[in-house]
Amino acid sequence: MLRWLLLIPFALLFAVGAGLVALLVAGVASPDLGLLVGGGFERLMSTLFDQAERGFDPGPTAEAAFALLGRLGFAILVLPVVLVAVASELFRLRSGLIQSGLTGLLAALLPLAVLGMTRAPNAAEMQVVAALFLVGAATGFVYWLIAGRGAGGEPKAPGQG
């Protein structure tokens, strides 16, 4: 029980923080991802200041933009590692490759679902998806290092139900 109350939440928080660092590194390593993150933030700030200069309230625009950013951040950094961690605990999956791979897969696919992507991504978008996969895989690996190797608690001896 102590594992569920202390170790797993600590591991998840640490993994999400590591995922954020991995996302920043991926933004530097991948020009398309860096442009998406940095350029999008720059355009958002420019739009908000432009609205304020014209006498419009930038509050609703900022609220909508930050709500979308929050959903995307949740879909990239938090939800994949939490889902895989819970599944690994319930099904006693102790493999670092499984935890990293599944977390990476979810981190790459969930943002597409959040955005409602109905077409095949182009080459630049595939580079972003690949970078998100690596960010998710790093997040899953950090979780596995802290808590995943003992997923599901101690193995039961044969004959114990």
**74 DSSP assignment:** I
Which token pair is 86?
Answer: 């819970």
Number of C-alpha atoms within 13 angstroms, CB side, residue 32?
Answer: 11
* 78 falls within a domain: yes
* 59 falls within a domain: yes
Positions of the chain with pLDDT under 70: 1, 152-161
Q: What pLDDT was estimated at residue 135?
A: 93
Amino acid at 120: A
Q: What pLDDT was estimated at residue 12?
A: 93
Of 113, 103, 117, give the one whose Cα is nearest residue 145.
Answer: 103
Provide the whole-model pTM.
0.80
Q: What pLDDT was estimated at residue 153?
A: 64
Which token pair is 59?
Answer: 């509050």
Integer Cα distance of 154 and 86 in angstroms: 16
* 161 falls within a domain: no
Q: What pLDDT was estimated at residue 159?
A: 61
* 138 falls within a domain: yes
* 159 falls within a domain: no
Integer Cα distance of 77 and 55 in angstroms: 36
Chain centroid to CA 41: how far?
18
Which token pair is 32?
Answer: 């398309």
Number of structural domains (the chain) is 1
| Secondary structure class of 161 (helix, strand, coil) | coil
* 69 falls within a domain: yes
Q: What pLDDT was estimated at residue 53?
A: 93
The phi and psi torsions of 4 (rounded to 5 degrees) equal -70, -30
Q: At what angle do helices 40-53 and 59-73 cross, to 10 degrees?
A: 160
* 157 falls within a domain: no
* 86 falls within a domain: yes
Range of the domain at 43: 7-150
